[in-house]
Amino acid sequence: MIKQLSVCALLYSLLALAALNLSAAEKLLVSLPTKTATFEINAGGSLAAILRQGDRRNFLASNQPAPLLAVRVDGKFYSPDGAKWNARKHEISLGYTAVGVTALVRAEAKASHVIFEVVDVQPKDRVELVVWGPYPTTIGDIIGEVVGVVRDPEFAVGIQSLNAKTLGGYPAQENDIGLDGKTMDDPGKYPNLPPELNKEQNFRGDTAWPAPFGSVLQAYCRNRNHDRIIENWGHEKYLAPAFNDGGVIGSKIALFACPAAQALETLGKIEVAEGLPHPLLDGVWGKVSPQANCAYLIVDFGEDTIDRAIEMTKKAGLNYLYHSSPFESWGHFVLKKKLFPHGWDGLKMCVEKARRAGIRVGFHTLSNFITPNDTYVSPKPDPRLARIGASTLTGNIDAADMEIPVAAPDYFGKQTAMNTVVIGDELVAYDSVSTNAPWRLLNCKRGAWHTQAAAHASGDSVAKLMDHPYKVFLTDADLTQEVARNIASLCNAAGTMQISLDGLEGAWSTGMGQYGRTLLTTTWYNALKPELRGTINDASNPGHFNWHVATRMNWGEPWYAGFRKSQTLYRFKNQVFFERNLMPHMLGWFAVRPDTTVEDTEWMLARAAGYDAGFALATSLASAAQLDADANSADAMKKFGAMPAILKTVKTWESARMAGAFPSAVKALLRDNTKEFHLEAAGEGTWDLYPMENGNRGTPVRIKAP
């Protein structure tokens, strides 16, 4: 097992090695021009310049190593020390003489970007992984750590992985998880992070990364042609099975540089040119569509209550209705029979009824989480359930034995939520492992999770299953993709148009980190009917390649307090993340309770308008019973709070926001969460915005749709 190092330690290790090559031939090897920039490669095999067209300003940081492609052999990184250009084939041959390795990279300039692709590496099996860069830039103003784009007020430089196996970031960990969004909340987790990464930034990736001279851009690809034992998800030893994807050959990136205002547009051009996911919402690319951050109503409806849910959604002036918990099991996604007695056909009926009312329906799922009641688990466990690792029986056992003798304890000592092993077709839950040899699993429950207890022979495999604190099992790479296709099959059958692929960290069970996440999302996306590729989708876990698949992220949970206090700072900090990563803004979920007031709602809606951010409003069907009653009646307020008035208020504010009625200066005022506002309709496409002080209205500002 290769020792894991911090992001910085590995980065500066590579920079130090590459610095030895700074004296290599710096003769220009090839110049690759786009409409907005020129990328130059020198005869030493390094990126030599990123030149803006026109004034030829160089955005590549000087006196910094910039290997076009670094390789890792026997745990050490090597930069190229020579390069040759084949103009006929558009190929760069890179040499790494210290380890006797050569690499062949195809290079091509297009109008918006340049592409680089590994065509061959020799000897193929010696190269453990390849790193694109890191490429040092002089830009440090805005670091889009997930999207892989850095910007200053004038110019932007970016890197894009062009296939799922090319991972954004740097191989700081053998599990390929990378930064997980909790970096700054757990300082001990990454002790060597640069001091400039403070809690206000809360980086969630390292495809772009700050540096003293500006920033670096980086991506990599791993050779997965053999099993590896890694540290993964809290387990010191975890089996990462071999995965046949061609290894480092075929790894491919795009580099681009353009005016900062054109960065998002350029990303869209790259998606189209390179065949990346490019979902459209009603014919408009999702990253620029006004619908991308539309608000939605969360109501857990069923076949007999869909009409009331539609009514609530219309009263709120919203176009999306979302179900938070429709499933009896995850894996095959069996719907709750009480809500959907006709199964998937029943959901389809609800979707079609909503569509006729101008409402689109979506649902929540937990990606590759497998509930024990799913047929992937019982009565016969699927062999593709993720395994932490395995040992063997050291003796025969019968169906009643409560102790299981195993050859080694390596994978069984760490307690997990379900503490389950699989032997043949039987699942066995156990309490603990003996403290010394002969090693035994103690106090076993045979035939766990409705499997069949059976006799097993000495030498049979005993594998510890990977599980999650939600008390679910997880999947290997193959089953991860099958589960993704199951989700797509439901979307296709029912015609749903919104989904949250929550729990994407579950795909770390593959042992492939962010690659596992991307396998899930891209498999789901590719399995959708073409007309459903415009499904609004978000996730709990952002990723570089997944930036192209996901419509948006929507973080912020409502369970801890009311509108004003549940993860408030976290929600606002997320808006900075969205801005620097060129993503639509969302504020997260807000739950309406009996004590939720209209004033609370307007406080939230003012922030949504200020950040131009959507949100989810969670409520229950119980509120629907009173929608036609007097919203101010004592009985209505006692039973259902201010729900009718809240829905009306949401309609007023969201109509104005979606119409683009709030000018920039007004948005700046609305972002101040110490201020209160009230909004009233004042005619078609016109609203009056009142500042509020101690319940009193100030002088209104008239706003209009453009």
Give me the pLDDT at residue 49, please.
Answer: 98
Report in angstroms the alpha-carbon separations of 217 from 45, 136, 371, 420. 17, 7, 39, 42
Provide mean pLDDT across the span 199-220: 87
**Over pLDDT 70: what percentage of the chain?**
91
**Tell me: the pLDDT tens digits for 293-323?**
999 999 999 999 999 999 999 999 999 999 9
pLDDT band, residue 3 (cuts 50/70/90): very low
Mean per-residue pLDDT over the chain, rounded: 92
Provide mean pLDDT across the span 154-171: 97
Above 80 in pLDDT, residue 149? yes
pLDDT band, residue 625 (cuts 50/70/90): low
Above 80 in pLDDT, residue 196? no
Q: For residue 437, how far is the Cα from the chain centroid?
A: 43
Per the structure block, which two tokens stand in for 640?
Answer: 């259902």
Strand stretches in 60-199, DSSP E: 70-73, 76-78, 82-86, 91-96, 101-109, 114-122, 127-137, 142-144, 149-151, 155-161, 167-168
Above 70 in pLDDT, residue 75? yes
Above 90 in pLDDT, residue 201? no
Provide mean pLDDT across the span 636-662: 86
d(C-alpha 614, C-alpha 480), whole Å: 30
Above 80 in pLDDT, residue 78? yes
Provide mean pLDDT across the span 639-660: 89
Give me the pLDDT at residue 561, please.
Answer: 85
**Over pLDDT 90: what percentage of the chain?**
86
Above 80 in pLDDT, residue 637? no
d(C-alpha 584, C-alpha 145), whole Å: 16
Give me the pLDDT at residue 540, please.
Answer: 82
pLDDT band, residue 633 (cuts 50/70/90): low
Segment of 198-212, 621-635, 641-655 carrying the highest mean pLDDT: 641-655
* CB count in 10 Å sphere of residue 676: 17
The set of residues, in sequence order, having a beta carbon less than 8 Å from that of 664 and lying 6+ positions away, is none
Above 60 in pLDDT, residue 482? yes
Above 70 in pLDDT, residue 192? no
d(C-alpha 535, C-alpha 560), whole Å: 30
**Tell me: the pLDDT tens digits for 20-48?**
444 445 799 999 999 999 999 999 999 99
Provide mean pLDDT across the span 442-456: 98
The set of residues, in sequence order, having a beta carbon less than 8 Å from that of 484 and lying 6+ positions away, is 367, 368, 519, 520, 521, 523, 524, 527
pLDDT band, residue 562 (cuts 50/70/90): confident
**What global pTM score does this model have?**
0.92
**Tell me: the pLDDT tens digits for 574-609?**
999 999 999 999 999 999 988 899 999 999 999 999
**Tell me: the pLDDT tens digits for 331-384?**
999 999 999 999 999 999 999 999 999 999 999 999 999 999 999 999 999 999
Q: Do residues 267 and 288 make contact, with C-beta atoms less than 8 angstroms apart?
A: no
pLDDT band, residue 18 (cuts 50/70/90): very low
Give me the pLDDT at residue 623, please.
Answer: 60
Above 70 in pLDDT, residue 187? no
